[in-house]
């Protein structure tokens, strides 16, 4: 079986010392709590309150039909979405797609469109994107579960007006919508204008939605084997069905990170892929871990201000920047490596200039071997300086292994909510900022909040140098 594996040797006491390392006994001490948390999660699943568990088994036929229908028709597929409506798609496409697909001709892309994810509202960048992508050759995918996300809907309004001006009544054929199946302004617009659309499951939150239509529609359109992706997720779900905490990869990963934080003061967790193709996974994980676990209150209402700070790094690039801090700086970080055992290509290093001692050692080797040695070197440096790390190992980068990894991180995050005793499925801090935007942009129903904000803003005045 082509399974990913979890190697936590570098987090154990016999490698990094008693002060910073864990013991098997300490990990196993969570077994009782793990059973209760698992039972609670399954109860929530069976009640229909959390739906990401069911996504590996969803019917993909409509999605694949749509992807086949648009194949060869469009040069560009432009995603309008932010946060959970963008990060997962970007992570999977970066892992499985051609790294320079934007430069390939359509024939070299087998008719699949170039995928652009407009996940920010920077006016300069968004304007540049619209100017270099011809509307007649582009399909725009608007993703917002609520149908009212300020950033996404602002982009949609701009794109719709542009299409209406350039294509007249044909603009409707250039837009596909992914939103709530029943309510919200985006759903009503889709109904009114007969736009192609897909549903976001009601019980699936944005950051857990990549294996739903949110991610599967754009990924299928871009040529990703979404059935293999879901099969990988299903395999991880199967592996996490074991009774023993030590045999569940997702729960074990969660427990290791939690203990490193609460028992060994590792308040930051650095995800460092030794593969540029997996760098997007670190971005995806940052949102999962931060937005799910960074909470002011626990489930009882007690103020706790909990959660690890997720950081992303890239091997080997960041051996020349961040690793200095991780090896000799504060003892507050847990490193999580994403390692690839077999890359898709082997790139040999020529023996040119092998008469020079400074270069001769590279002759006859490969970038693959150099990457592995660099990864080993970082782990060696960390262990030598008593810095803990975990390695998640992928036999190869494929839809199956990436599906496993995505689902493992989602399940680990849900389980970590139980360990920290917080709700991993809400985001009150994010909602606070959204409400501020609604109020200050003049949305109806937010007059009182706008007045309160203006009053508070004038308390101390502005201090600007």
Residues labelled as active-site residues: 291, 320, 434
For 401, the 3-state DSSP assignment is helix
Please report the DSSP string for 370-381 in residue order: HHHHHHHHHHHH
Contacts (Cβ under 8 Å, ≥6 apart) of 121:
82, 151, 154, 155
**330 CB burial (10 A radius; 0-12, 13-18, 19+):** exposed
Please identify which residue in the block is written with the tokens 């499951």. Answer: 201
Measure the CA–CA gap between 266 and 262, rounded to whole angstroms.
Answer: 7
- Token output for 465: 């140098």
Please report the DSSP string for 231-285 in residue order: HHHHHHHHHTT-SSGGG-HHHHHHHHHHHHHHTT---EEEEEESSGGGHHHHHHH
* Antiparallel, parallel or unpaired: β 76-80 and 5-7: unpaired
The crossing angle, in degrees rounded to 10, of helices 213-221 and 226-239 is 140
Identify whether the C-beta of residue 368 lies closer than 8 Å to the C-beta of residue 343: yes
Q: What share of the chain is helix, strand, coil (3-state, %, to 5)?
A: 55, 15, 30
Phi, psi values for residue 121, rounded to 5°: -110, 20
Please report the DSSP string for 305-348 in residue order: EE--EEEE--TTGGGGTTHHHHHHS-S-EEEEEEEEEE-S---B
For 22, the 3-state DSSP assignment is strand
Contacts (Cβ under 8 Å, ≥6 apart) of 124:
none
* Residue 299 DSSP code: T
The count of other CB atoms within 10 Å of the CB of residue 199 is: 16
* Antiparallel, parallel or unpaired: β 175-180 and 138-143: parallel
The count of other CB atoms within 10 Å of the CB of residue 64 is: 16
């Amino acid at each position: 079986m082509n399974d990913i594996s979890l190697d936590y040797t570098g987090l154990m006491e016999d490698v990094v010392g008693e002060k910073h390392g864990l013991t098997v006994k300490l990990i196993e001490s969570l077994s009782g709590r793990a059973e209760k948390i698992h039972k609670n999660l399954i109860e929530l699943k069976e009640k229909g309150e959390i739906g990401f568990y069911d996504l590996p088994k969803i019917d993909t036929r409509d999605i694949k039909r749509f992807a086949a229908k648009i194949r060869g028709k469009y040069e560009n597929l432009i995603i309008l979405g932010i946060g959970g409506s963008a990060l997962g798609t970007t992570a999977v496409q970066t892992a499985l797609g051609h790294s320079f697909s934007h430069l390939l001709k359509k024939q070299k892309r087998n008719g699949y469109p170039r995928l652009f994810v407009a996940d920010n509202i920077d006016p300069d960048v968004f304007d540049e994107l619209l100017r270099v992508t011809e509307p007649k050759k582009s399909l725009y995918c608007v993703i917002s579960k609520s149908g009212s996300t300020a950033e996404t809907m602002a982009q949609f309004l701009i794109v719709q007006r542009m299409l209406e001006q350039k294509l007249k009544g044909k603009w409707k054929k250039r837009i596909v919508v992914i939103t709530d199946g029943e309510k919200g302004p985006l759903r009503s617009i889709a109904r009114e204008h007969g736009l192609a659309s897909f549903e976001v499951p009601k019980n699936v939150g944005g950051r857990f939605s990549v294996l739903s239509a949110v991610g599967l529609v754009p990924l299928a359109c871009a040529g990703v084997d979404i059935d293999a992706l879901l099969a990988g997720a299903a395999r991880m779900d199967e592996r996490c069905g074991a009774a023993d905490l030590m045999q569940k990869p997702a729960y074990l990963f969660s427990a290791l990170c939690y203990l490193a934080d609460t028992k060994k003061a590792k308040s930051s967790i650095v995800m460092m892929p030794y593969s540029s193709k997996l760098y997007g996974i670190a971005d995806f994980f940052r949102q999962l871990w931060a937005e799910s676990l960074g909470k002011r209150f626990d489930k009882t209402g007690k103020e706790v201000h909990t959660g690890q700070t997720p950081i992303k790094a890239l091997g080997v690039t960041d051996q020349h920047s961040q690793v200095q801090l991780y090896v000799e700086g504060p003892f507050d970080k847990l490193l999580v490596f994403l390692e690839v055992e077999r890359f898709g290509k082997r790139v040999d290093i020529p023996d040119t200039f092998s008469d020079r001692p400074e270069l001769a050692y590279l002759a006859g080797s490969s970038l693959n071997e150099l990457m592995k040695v660099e990864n080993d070197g970082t782990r060696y440096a960390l262990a030598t300086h008593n810095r803990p790390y975990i390695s998640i190992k992928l036999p190869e980068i494929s839809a199956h292994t990436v599906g496993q990894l995505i689902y493992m991180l989602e399940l680990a995050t849900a389980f970590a909510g139980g360990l920290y005793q917080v709700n991993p499925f809400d985001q009150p801090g994010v909602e606070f900022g959204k409400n501020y935007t609604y109020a200050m942009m003049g949305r109806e129903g937010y007059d009182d909040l706008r007045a309160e904000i203006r009053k508070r803003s004038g308390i101390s005045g502005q201090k600007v140098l």
